[in-house]
A and B are shown apart, each in its own frame.
Chain A
């Protein structure tokens, strides 16, 4: 068994909706090994995105502990949690979330700025990653000049460029057709194998679930 990368113990999260309290996560215990390629499945509103947000340090749990590598995520202050996200994580969003005024190269470069790398190093790394995801000839193209699949490749390059331990992908194929979904999954899988980067993919897309190594299913805020 590989060494543990992600560890969640008794994680709970409740949201207030109007006057009502809604329990999004109820006592989640979860361990993921280094280099995992795992799906997080469940219907809409089951808590998938909330769980990814908590692991990604984008939100705070009400209770429980979250550890990623050597980072005690649930205990970090804001300044350190920014450092954690920059150093240990990559994000892939359903809507790609690229900056429209930046070229593909600049969008990837963005993720390295938080690491304080010099411009020449950033650009070289961005080009290397874009070449690796098959967009070496699209460096100067802006998101509006790229197809949906190409945009998601840029987003994956941006997520991978800082050599993270874990990539959190939230419904990464929801906006893509079958052929493009296959290509994106192939790409994520090859990056997972070549770099040893773990992927936690939130989805209810069966095309994704049949390609991952393991699936954790969430229902009503609990892991099945």
Chain B
């Protein structure tokens, strides 16, 4: 094995310029593949965490009807207090749990006295929720909730349209469980911006006790659960579903299907991109090995004449192709690491994606598994290209090979 490996590597040095060209192509392809896969990895991870820590949580517990979202009366499908308490207890008992957050979700009109805008409010635990979901309450002005329950935090676009700043008072007009209307004055303490225009225009946060008073109910719409480890989501969901048979448990995958849709879209794009890279590597290595072999036809004939079979020689050419693949791919991964470090250092920003108002950082996060996969794939492609290129030479009769000029 070492004998043939040395043979293969020395053959690569016979025409340095040609081998360097193939190595260059493989390296650029490896770097491109690593960076593309790293971008997909980082972006899907960022979107997922944005969703989870922006309010969705890893899991949510509610009635099935609440998840379906169709109700004849306000808070019709919200959990009664004792069931919500049981759900919260079960959630807090789950292994790996960090926060169990009861919420009441409702709709209201918010008015500055001149103008009223409809909002969806989330009534939250004013102390726990901001720590648990920091990305959902990314404040750009003011602060978080204090001890006074008559406080509100608004999205930046909503505050702008109502001409509000922290410290201003507004009136919140909401439905009660019996279909009546109730109003209460609240003070704007903070303004958040998620970068998603629709959320920044239509969302308000109020303390849970205030909302219950406004809606005249002690019900809870959902209990959101944040775990220490996202990988534990499915197992915890199964445990909670078993422990709470009258309730439904949904994971972030079900609550935010856009994460999976983005991942699938990226994978489809990467498949096309990867196929193009694979073809480029295949053709480059094949042309380089074929050119090298055309200069070694007599040598191949000699080796076969002295008793070395086609299979053993095909193995040599496979090693030569694999050698080009390994050297190029390892260099490419090194290049991708440098690019990743550079992007992290200079913090390159991309324009806001559709539906968002803030630029997003260009994140690349490829790991050892991605690097190993890229190297493995390119080595196999390069080795395969070399073997295919060698077939024509190896199929020549020995006499033809020996007489080749």
* Stretch of B80-88, B228-236, B255-263, B302-310 with 4 or more beta carbons under 8 angstroms from chain A: B302-310
Q: Is B3 in contact with chain A by the CB < 8 A criterion?
A: yes
Please determine whether B302 and A93 come into contact, CB atoms closer than 8 angstroms: yes
Please determine whether A83 and B3 come into contact, CB atoms closer than 8 angstroms: no
Write the nearest CB–CB distance from B15 to chain A, whole angstroms: 11
Please determine whether B306 and A111 come into contact, CB atoms closer than 8 angstroms: yes
Name the A residues within 8 Å of B14 (CB-CB): 100-101
Contact mask for chain B residues 144-159; partner A; CB cutoff 8 A; 1 contact, 0 none: 0000000000000000
Please determine whether A58 and B11 come into contact, CB atoms closer than 8 angstroms: no
Q: Is A186 in contact with chain B by the CB < 8 A criterion?
A: no
Q: Is B298 in contact with chain A by the CB < 8 A criterion?
A: yes
Q: Is A56 in contact with chain B by the CB < 8 A criterion?
A: yes
Known: A97-B298, A101-B10, A102-B7. A113 touches B308 (CB 8 A): yes
Contact mask for chain A residues 3-17; partner B; CB cutoff 8 A; 1 contact, 0 none: 000000000000000
A86 touches which one: B298, B302, B307 (CB < 8 A)? B307
A79 to B310, CA, bound (A): 10
User: How many cross-chain pairs have Cβ atoms below 8 Å apart between A and B?
Assistant: 67
Contact mask for chain B residues 244-269; partner A; CB cutoff 8 A; 1 contact, 0 none: 00000000000000000000000000
A99 to B398, CA, bound (A): 16
Q: Is A119 in contact with chain B by the CB < 8 A criterion?
A: yes
Known: A101-B7, A101-B10, A102-B7. A79 touches B309 (CB 8 A): yes
Write the nearest CB–CB distance from A88 to chain B, whole angstroms: 10
Please determine whether B399 and A114 come into contact, CB atoms closer than 8 angstroms: no
B308 touches which one: A58, A101, A114 (CB < 8 A)? A114
Please determine whether A91 and B305 come into contact, CB atoms closer than 8 angstroms: yes
Number of chain B interface residues as a range:
20 to 34
Known: A79-B309, A101-B14. A110 touches B303 (CB 8 A): yes
Mostly helix, strand, loop or mixed at chain B's interface? helix
Name the interface residues of A77-128: CB closer than 8 Å to any CB of B.
79, 82-83, 85-87, 90-91, 93, 95, 97, 99-102, 106, 109-111, 113-115, 119
**20 extra interchain contacts, Cβ-Cβ under 8 A, other than A58-B399, A91-B302, A110-B306?**
A58-B398, A58-B402, A79-B309, A85-B306, A85-B307, A86-B306, A93-B402, A97-B402, A99-B7, A99-B303, A100-B14, A101-B13, A101-B14, A102-B7, A109-B3, A113-B3, A113-B312, A114-B307, A114-B308, A115-B307
A168 to B211, CA, bound (A): 102
A85 touches which one: B3, B305, B399 (CB < 8 A)? B305
Q: Is A46 in contact with chain B by the CB < 8 A criterion?
A: no
Q: Is B397 in contact with chain A by the CB < 8 A criterion?
A: yes
Q: Is B367 in contact with chain A by the CB < 8 A criterion?
A: no
Write the nearest CB–CB distance from A29 to chain B, whole angstroms: 22
Please determine whether A59 and B397 come into contact, CB atoms closer than 8 angstroms: yes
Write the nearest CB–CB distance from B316 to chain A, whole angstroms: 11
Contact mask for chain B residues 283-322; partner A; CB cutoff 8 A; 1 contact, 0 none: 0000000000000001100111111110010000000000
Q: Is A158 in contact with chain B by the CB < 8 A criterion?
A: yes
Please determine whether B309 and A82 come into contact, CB atoms closer than 8 angstroms: yes
B399 touches which one: A53, A95, A97, A111 (CB < 8 A)? A53
Name the A residues within 8 Å of B302 (CB-CB): 91, 93, 97, 99
Please, which residue of chain B has its CB at the minimum distance from the CB of A123? B3
Residues of B within 8 A of A (CB): 2-3, 7, 10-11, 13-14, 298-299, 302-309, 312, 397-399, 402
Name the B residues within 8 Å of A162 (CB-CB): 307
A113 to B10, CA, bound (A): 18
Name the B residues within 8 Å of A99 (CB-CB): 7, 299, 302-303
Name the B residues within 8 Å of A90 (CB-CB): 306
Centre residue among B3, B304, B312 by max chain A CB count within 10 A:
B3
A83 to B306, CA, bound (A): 10
Please determine whether B308 and A110 come into contact, CB atoms closer than 8 angstroms: yes
Name the A residues within 8 Å of B398 (CB-CB): 53, 58-59
Please determine whether A111 and B307 come into contact, CB atoms closer than 8 angstroms: yes
Name the A residues within 8 Å of B11 (CB-CB): 101
Name the A residues within 8 Å of B303 (CB-CB): 99, 110
A82 to B299, CA, bound (A): 16
A101 to B6, CA, bound (A): 9
Name the A residues within 8 Å of B399 (CB-CB): 53, 58-59
Top 5 A-B pairs, shortest CB-CB distance: A86-B307, A114-B307, A101-B10, A97-B302, A58-B398
Please determine whether B309 and A91 come into contact, CB atoms closer than 8 angstroms: no
Write the nearest CB–CB distance from B193 to chain A, whole angstroms: 65
A113 to B398, CA, bound (A): 18
Name the B residues within 8 Å of A101 (CB-CB): 7, 10-11, 13-14
A162 to B11, CA, bound (A): 25
A162 to B308, CA, bound (A): 13
A56 to B306, CA, bound (A): 10
Write the nearest CB–CB distance from A113 to chain B, whole angstroms: 7
What are 25 A-B residue pairs whose CB atoms fall within 8 Å in the complex?
Answer: A53-B398, A56-B305, A58-B305, A59-B398, A59-B399, A79-B309, A82-B307, A82-B309, A83-B307, A85-B305, A85-B306, A87-B307, A93-B302, A95-B298, A97-B299, A97-B302, A97-B402, A99-B7, A101-B10, A101-B11, A101-B13, A110-B308, A114-B307, A114-B308, A119-B3
